[in-house]
Amino acid sequence: MSTVIDDSHHASRRAFCRGLGAALALPLFPVGARAQTPAGEAGGAPMLPVRSPGLEHLGLTVPDPEAAAKFYGRIFGPQLFREREPPPRYYVMAGTAYLAFGGSTTVTPFVDHYCALVHDYRGREMRPVLEARGIQSAAVGMISDPDGLRLQLLGVPGGLAGTIVPGGRMSLDPPAVHAVGLDHVMLRVTDLEKSAAFYRTFFGNERPRTKDKPERVWFQIGNTRLGLESIAGNKPAIDHFCITVAGFDRRAAETALKQLGVELSASNDEKLLRFRDAHGIICELKAV
């Protein structure tokens, strides 16, 4: 990761990682929206919606971060990365994207946040602009949506932070697929219109809805997408994420994943391959 909410990037990043496990053990509360006039923005230039080249990474909270990283490493790349200092966090590259794994044995495993990169990101200056809209931001650009789902904003060009070091190579075996980057992240929300209004603040207007799936909203964020879907009877969550793959061959990918013991899931889209990890977290693969 690169630019963060203040200038002391590495110190803030280490402090964030130390506190992440404890913070994730607490319930996430929705952020209430207040009808206020937005504060003036630096130099008169609008800071919202942001200029983003796309979504970059996801954070997952699991009981054993190293084991989870090794699972995804067999799929996307055998070189692991980790934090230089405690707590133990591991990272797996997936092309220009990456997956970050933090540990907690007190919560059900879940995707705890996703990140969008921002051109000319100025976290300190953005904070009062967000507060004027009733939106609170926490350390390292973390922002909670109306359901408590967490969006992180980081400066371009992003990437792994300076506190992260090589964590060892698992094997000389090639990855199951050749990942290019994130295609989309899908959120499961309780109130589609309320969530859509929230995300318009950051990413501008959504794409036109389709007649066959009016319950789903898409935001185009650079060369990636953010999806919102309201599903009755389900709790809000980061439902799944999708990685683009170079030279994608569905049958070959299915064979490679089955050989690794990966649980494949049914998909209505023949152009996608969907699987679940040991914790039930869903990942999709598709052609670039």
125 domain-assigned = yes
Same-domain status, 139 and 20: yes
194 and 123 within one domain: no
Classified as helix, coil or strand, 274 is: strand
Which is nearest to 1 in space by CA: 213, 202, 142, 153?
A: 153
Note whether 99 and 21 are same-domain residues.
yes
Looking at the fold, whether 142 and 282 belong to one and the same domain comes out as no
**For residue 154, what pLDDT is reported?**
96
- Do 274 and 204 lie in a common domain? yes
Task: Decide: 218 and 167 in contact? Cβ < 8 Å.
Answer: no
Looking at the structure, do residues 128 and 21 belong to the same domain, yes or no?
A: yes
What's the rounded Cα separation, in Å, for the pair 110 and 237?
8
Q: Model-level pTM?
A: 0.84
- What is the count of structural domains for the chain? 2
In a domain, 2, yes or no: no
* 35 located within any domain: no
Last residue of a domain, one of 112, 141, 169: 169
Residues 128 and 100 in one domain: yes
From edge to edge, which strands make up the β-sheet containing 79-83?
142-144, 150-155, 110-118, 54-62, 97-103, 90-94, 79-83, 164-169
Q: Are 123 and 191 in a shared domain?
A: no
| 145 and 241 both lie in a single domain | no
Main-chain phi, psi angles of 56, to 5 degrees: -120, -45
Residue 211's pLDDT is 82
Phi, psi of 257 (to 5 degrees): -70, -40
The pLDDT value given to residue 45: 63
Pairing outcome for strands 54-62 and 224-230: unpaired
CB 277 within 8 A of CB 68: yes
- Judge if 22 and 110 occupy the same domain: yes
Residue that is written with structure tokens 């990037």 in the block:
9
Cross-sheet strand order for the sheet of 237-245: 216-221, 224-230, 179-189, 237-245, 282-287, 272-276, 263-265
Report the helix count and the strand count for the chain, using DSSP H and E. Answer: 5, 15
First-residue to last-residue Cα distance in the chain: 24
- What is the domain-level CATH number for residue 14? 3.10.180.10
Inter-residue long-range contacts of 260-263, CB under 8 Å, 24+ positions, other chains counted: 260/74, 260/75, 260/176, 262/75, 262/176
pLDDT tens, per residue, the chain with 288 residues? 433 334 334 444 444 454 444 444 333 333 333 333 333 454 556 899 999 999 999 999 999 999 999 999 999 999 999 999 999 999 999 999 999 999 999 999 999 999 999 999 999 999 999 999 999 888 779 999 999 999 999 999 999 999 999 999 999 999 999 999 999 999 999 999 999 999 999 999 999 988 888 889 999 999 999 999 998 888 999 999 999 999 999 999 999 999 999 999 988 788 899 999 999 999 999 999
Query: What residue numbers bound the domain in which 56 lies?
Result: 9-26+50-169
Domain boundary among 142, 169, 196: 169
Whether 88 and 125 map to the same domain: the answer is yes
pLDDT score recorded for residue 46: 81
Last residue of a domain, one of 169, 189, 206: 169
